[in-house]
Structure 1
Amino acid sequence: FTVTATNSVGTSAASAASNSVTPTSTLAAGEVYNPTTGKIWMDRNLGATQVATSSTDAASYGDLYQWGRGTDGHQIRTSATTTTRSSTDQPGNGNFILARFFDWRSPQNTNLWQGVSGINNPCPSGYRLPTETELDAERASWSSPNAAGAFASPLKLPMAGRRSFSLGSLGDVGTSGKYWSSTVSGTLSRNLSFTNSAASMYTNFRTYGYSVRCLKD
């Protein structure tokens, strides 16, 4: 089972399932349920070929998205790079856009990735990016505030690393997990980050390539 994503502005209707009352017996294939938060999630990162078998399972790492971009090819870990920033919501190419400050888009658009029908929502139909509050609630439910807790949770989050906003190179693979939320903070956006020793929410440039874990709407 491989997670696939869409590259549209998102017009799909929300699922009728309720996160707060759904027992594990009614989960669809590829879904996991956290009884502590009452949320249903996809069981793997976007682009991953399998559910994580460990925090450092390479097959579970998946793709690395720049905040607000759709599934246009840029998220592939080996995609080409460019220094030309986009003036539109869809750059029209699959290049990872290098920019030393803030964003791959100029001018910025803070309305991207907002909800299941949000512009450039990369998640499959009926799913969306989690908000900062939703992602942090998952972190708070872990048995320990670190990579071990992330993997022991229902989501089995791996340390998939990141892609540099200025060089396009991979970093922290197998030593850190970084996951985007849909929440903006000024010119930046919020993300969950964890290592073997800590876990917290942070604010970072939208040009970074981070993992995406989709939440059922």
Structure 2
Amino acid sequence: MNKKIQNLKVGLIFTLTLLLNTTIFAQSPEKLSYQAVVRNAENNLVANTQVGMQISILQGSESGAVVYSEVLTPTTNANGLVSVAIGEAADLSSIDWSNGTYFIKTETDPNGGTDYSIVGTSQLLSVPYALHAKSADGFTPGTTPGEMKYWNGSEWAVVTPGNEGDVLTFVNNTPTWVGEGSGEVIPTVTNPTTGKIWMDKNLGAEQVATSSFDEASYGDLYQWGRGTDGHEKRTSASTTSLSDTDTPGHGDFIINGNSPFDWRVPQNHNLWDGAAGINNPCPAGFRLPTENEWNLEMMTWSSMNVAGAFDSVLKLPAAGQRRFSDGDFYGVGVSGSYWASTLSNEAGGIYSRFMNFRYSAYVISAHRATANSVRCIKHY
């Protein structure tokens, strides 16, 4: 088999979860703090093992010019986590951060060498401000009282005003006011490690979980991509009549045991695409988490199982799921299944991803006619 093709296949099997903190060290040269979790082909953590990594900063696109690169050999901890400081090879302040967008490319060899089989690229969604400031020393953008400006990549732009009580956050790398002060206040919890803000209970739940088996905390079960139309209730009736529109017009659970195993045929892949998704069931300012956000959350658990899910900041209960093929319930009080907005690349992309925990915890693909729990995350 061609080695390039072989590495591509291996890269699809291995999982590399990235957590990038734009932390700038006081000493010179300045560095970026970087963390990653490495898993093997069986989805097991590569723990207490030296791995080989090449980290590059690309300019303009995922295939852009390399403006910085270094090779590292960090050792994972008991949770498969590696922590490194990008900037050992040269001074990062030499990069003109104001000149377009930048991407982090990571290449990893779980065996500690340079036969990199795991490749991932992600955009730097926020500029390393302490470094960027070096290129803007002595410059103060003109403002009027009460006005804020930010660098949008080409010029200083004014932050759009919000309402009293709103919270300033980033949406698509733009400072944006979220309407905390002008609408219903949604109870939330914040993971101090990831910094992510979540609703404090499952969508449709009566209360925050008091145990893994607290029925009042289970909440509703949604088919992937459907809005809140009544189908999510555990008492909803079922039907085999498929929908060819984004809103079926009824509250029945739709059974489909045949490909593409979706309640909507033909499929629509954009129904839960962010806070502006067509059928986003979350409250204003919230959305479904991505696969990567679930992976980062699991990294902070005390154990990768039912107990760890409940002991986590999110207090996730074992709410079970509803099967796509017959509408029956499965795993209630035994396991938890929580949707992600991320699409699967398996079988032509007809499935979607979800986080599951029982004896272990992982992200896997499921038929979209399956009904899983929804835990909403703050949109940034």
Residue pairs, 1:29-40, within 5 angstroms: 30-40=187-197
Aligned Cα root-mean-square deviation (Å) = 1.6
3-state SS, counterpart of residue 136 of structure 1: helix
Are 2:186 and 2:199, in contact at CA under 8 Å, matched by a contact in 1?
no
TM-score by length of 2: 0.50
Residue pairs, 1:1-217, within 5 angstroms: 16-18=167-169, 30-101=187-258, 102-185=261-344, 186-195=349-358, 197-217=359-379
Q: Mind listing any 5+ residue stretches in structure 2 that lack a counterpart?
A: 1-161, 171-179
Post-superposition CA distance 1:157-195 (Å, at most 9, x none) = 000000011111111100000000000111000000001
Displacement of 1:141:
1.3
Where is the strand percentage greater, Structure 1 or Structure 2?
2
TM-score by length of 1: 0.87
CA distance in 2, matches of 1:57, 1:134: 25
Higher relative contact order (CA 8 A, sep 6+): 1
3-state SS, counterpart of residue 299 of structure 2: helix
CA distance in 2, matches of 1:17, 1:92: 37
Are 2:257 and 2:326, in contact at CA under 8 Å, matched by a contact in 1?
no
Q: Aligned AA for 2:233?
A: I
Post-superposition CA distance 1:55-110 (Å, at most 9, x none) = 01000000000000000000000101010110000000001000013210000001
CA distance in 2, matches of 1:205, 1:17: 37
CA distance in 1, matches of 2:275, 2:350: 22
Q: Percent identity?
A: 60
CA distance in 1, matches of 2:196, 2:268: 28
Q: Aligned AA for 1:45?
A: N
Q: Aligned AA for 2:298?
A: R
Q: Aligned AA for 1:192?
A: M
CA distance in 1, matches of 2:303, 2:330: 24
Q: Which has the larger radius of gyration?
A: 2
